[in-house]
Structure 1
Amino acid sequence: MAKGGKGPRGKKITLKVAKNCIKVTFDGRKRLDLSKMGITTFPKCILRLNDVDELDLSRNMIRKIPDSISKFQNLRWLDLHSNYIDRLPESIGQMGALLYLNISNNKLTSNGLPVEMNQLKNIRTLNLGLNHLDSVPTTLGALKELHEVGLNDNLLSHVPQSIAKLPKLKKLNTKRNPFPKGDESDAFIDSIKRLDTLYLVDEKDLCGPCLRKCQQARDRLNRIKTTTVGLPRKPMFPNLVSPNSMAKDSQEDWRLHSNITLQ
């Protein structure tokens, strides 16, 4: 431990080191990759490289993200997973170009999620898994472009309806949260896939039109089952022992080749 009990000093990142860590992705984006570098403090020198499209600070020992991170106005992809971050800065809401944010496996609490996150209008993937969240702000329901949300391995007892009803949501991971048994949150467990999702609810919780719609869908499914069960199944390969027409012509050639090979 460093002098004064402040923990390990970590690796010092200079501007030169950071420049050497810039890579070009297959689609021509500039990525600053500082993952697994033993960093304990956000390197302020990288603010001079704020024209990069992607920033990877994952798998370090960073405890705080400064407000100045908002200088990365072109940033589309930000990976902060596996650090010791307990709070996101309010300025993160100013990063309007952000499409991907991964802050899983940190020390985030519900108070560490600023309201300003609802300004990330273009974000498509948000991973908050493996933290200490006991609630999720309903304001995240304003992020209409979200496709994937990770909330797994937290302390959640429920998921806000505003998030589950996001219009473009394809995947919602809520595994390993202490949801009350029998609670309506069971409908969110595992993943939610729009247009291909099974919601389990009690009839008493459905309004009249929704109940009739579900009953009609069930009746159609039962009719399909009734009509298909009685039909004899046509074998896919009725003459399995015989080669097909194309192979039949060359059967002797294959047999001859096989004999030569075995000899």
Structure 2
Amino acid sequence: MVKGKKKSSEPSGRKITLKMAKNALKVTIDGKRRLDLSNMAISTFPKCILKLCDVDELDLSRNLLKKIPDAIDKFVNLRLLDLHSNHLEHLPAAIGRLQNLHNLNLCNNRLTSSSLPHEMGFLRNLRILNLGMNCIDTLPPTVSALKELRELGLFNNLLTQLPKSLQNLPKLQKVNIKSNPIPSDEDPEVDRIQRVESLYLVKEDCLCNDCLKKCREEREKLDSRMSAASTLKKSIFAGLITPNSVAQENQAVWR
């Protein structure tokens, strides 16, 4: 047998060229330059996009990325970094050097508490942080340094108690802690914070069997409620006369 390189069981992913990246450049309604490489089966951070590091927004969501390189700090103008629905197991300390970042979405990855660098606390302008759907059981203490944070997603994690750092975030208005093993007697501590639900669109094959089952059950409940509401609406308006008949009756009176 001829010896050769061992074939990797990991998916190779799609290779992104600089030309492809340039074609993915968009301008948002508010005039921001957005590089949208979402849902392109990328498994390795494309180094070519470092030549486009002057963009304001970078969307690498719904891919197969396991890690982000230290070179992410080259994107000094980034206001939004969307990495949701990847396979991320670790974040580089360099992410703390994105001083202009306002929105960081890390939802639906494989992050643990130990994979969140303390340098995240350097993101002093961060306003929205989504860590939902990971494996986080605690937050790094440096999160309390995010004084501009308004919205925080912690849903579907492994938190057994409310992070004390939440009490040190003066501008925090919305937090989602749903689907964590937190005792109900912990709730009063976040009464001042509005709890919100978040919706993320992902392909079915990106979900595990349990999550897919839950989604289908929720969908059936929603369909049932919508069907009931539609029936009620028809019964309410069934006895009303049409605008044309009202006009005809009024004309008869005027004559």
1:55-74 residue CA offsets vs partner (Å, 9 max, x unmatched): 00000000010000000000
Distance, in Å, in 2 between the alignment partners of 1:186 and 1:4 is 51
Distance, in Å, in 2 between the alignment partners of 1:130 and 1:55 is 21
Matched residue, 1:170 = 173
C-alpha spacing 1:71/1:258, structure 2 compared with 1 (3 Å): farther
C-alpha spacing 1:3/1:26, structure 2 compared with 1 (3 Å): farther
The one-letter amino acid of 1:155's match is L
Q: State the shift of 1:17 in Å.
A: 0.2
Matched residue, 1:222 = none
* Match status 1:47 vs 2:13: no
Matched residue, 1:193 = 194
Matched residue, 1:69 = 72
Matched residue, 2:14 = 11
Distance, in Å, in 1 between the alignment partners of 2:99 and 2:252 is 65
The one-letter amino acid of 2:107's match is S
Give the gaps of 5 or more residues in structure 1.
195-251
Distance, in Å, in 1 between the alignment partners of 2:192 and 2:35 is 31
Distance, in Å, in 2 between the alignment partners of 1:7 and 1:258 is 79
- Under a length normalisation based on structure 2, what TM-score does the superposition of the two structures give? 0.73
1:139-197 residue CA offsets vs partner (Å, 9 max, x unmatched): 10110000000000000011222223411111011000001343xx2235799239xxx
Matched residue, 2:249 = 255
1:6-32 residue CA offsets vs partner (Å, 9 max, x unmatched): 411111100000000000000110000
The one-letter amino acid of 2:54's match is D
Matched residue, 2:198 = none
The one-letter amino acid of 2:126's match is I
The number of equivalent residue pairs is 200
Specify the SS of the correspondent of 1:32. Answer: strand
User: Is the 8 Å Cα contact of residues 173 and 192 (structure 1) preserved in structure 2?
Assistant: no
Task: Please give the residue correspondences for 1:2-41 in structure 2 after superposition, counting only pairs within 5 Å.
Answer: 4-41=7-44
Distance, in Å, in 1 between the alignment partners of 2:42 and 2:189 is 36
- Report the identity percentage: 56
Q: 2:87 aligns with which of 80, 84, 89?
A: 84
Give the gaps of 5 or more residues in structure 2.
196-245
Distance, in Å, in 2 between the alignment partners of 1:96 and 1:258 is 72
Specify the SS of the correspondent of 1:139. Answer: helix
- Under a length normalisation based on structure 1, what TM-score does the superposition of the two structures give? 0.71
C-alpha spacing 1:190/1:10, structure 2 compared with 1 (3 Å): farther
User: Is the 8 Å Cα contact of residues 40 and 63 (structure 1) preserved in structure 2?
Assistant: yes
The one-letter amino acid of 1:86's match is E
1:67-106 residue CA offsets vs partner (Å, 9 max, x unmatched): 0000000000000000000111000010000000000000
C-alpha spacing 1:69/1:190, structure 2 compared with 1 (3 Å): farther
The one-letter amino acid of 2:84's match is H
Distance, in Å, in 2 between the alignment partners of 1:45 and 1:115 is 28
The one-letter amino acid of 2:249's match is R
Distance, in Å, in 1 between the alignment partners of 2:89 and 2:252 is 67
Specify the SS of the correspondent of 1:163. Answer: helix
User: Is the 8 Å Cα contact of residues 162 and 182 (structure 2) preserved in structure 1?
Assistant: no
Larger radius of gyration: 1
Q: 1:120 aligns with which of 123, 126, 141?
A: 123
Specify the SS of the correspondent of 1:48. Answer: helix
Specify the SS of the correspondent of 2:144. Answer: helix
Matched residue, 2:183 = 180
Distance, in Å, in 1 between the alignment partners of 2:167 and 2:248 is 58
Distance, in Å, in 1 between the alignment partners of 2:193 and 2:101 is 23
User: Is the 8 Å Cα contact of residues 154 and 178 (structure 2) preserved in structure 1?
Assistant: yes
Q: State the shift of 1:254 in Å.
A: 5.7
